[in-house]
Amino acid sequence: MLKPKLLRQALTDSLPLLQTNPERLKMFVDGGRIVSTLAPSLSFENQYTLTLFIEDFSSDVDYLFVPILAWLREHQPDIMATEEKRRTGFIHKVDVISDVLSDIRIDLQLTERVIVKEVDGALHVNHALEPTWPGAATRPTVIYFNGEVIP
């Protein structure tokens, strides 16, 4: 699985809290399924829920949601393509711990396509890229909130 590592890196790059306290982000995969057929190749799709826990988050949750949405546009664009996926693909829960701290849980419905080819008696395994959707957004390098740069 590549997407959990890619998302962790994107969030670490975007959020100063995770740069100084990476242990505050916990991730795990739940409800994973391998979807394969009796086709000649061993290619398959890995479908799973990626759960993120961010502890003691002291910023507005939008600081967290925006980088995730940008990442999803690149790495799981179909999550925004249908009403069903928009309703179930990105779910969150925020526990307000105090006036300044929250614990946040995010569940993302992700898939990864794995292409397996046999070449000269050896199996070659590669992760397929996500299809490009019209109007794909570029990855932001700076995020503003209420007109101010998020450090």
pLDDT tens profile 26-63: 999 988 999 999 988 999 999 999 999 999 999 889 99
Residue with tokens 């799981």: 76
Residue 50: which H helix or E strand, with range? strand 44-57
Across the range 3-10, mean pLDDT stands at 97
Largest CA distance in the chain: 62
* Encoded tokens for 48: 């799973």
Provide the residue range defining the domain that includes 73.
3-149
- Report the distance separating Cα 105 and Cα 110, nearest Å: 16
Domains: count for the chain: 1
- Report the distance separating Cα 71 and Cα 15, nearest Å: 13
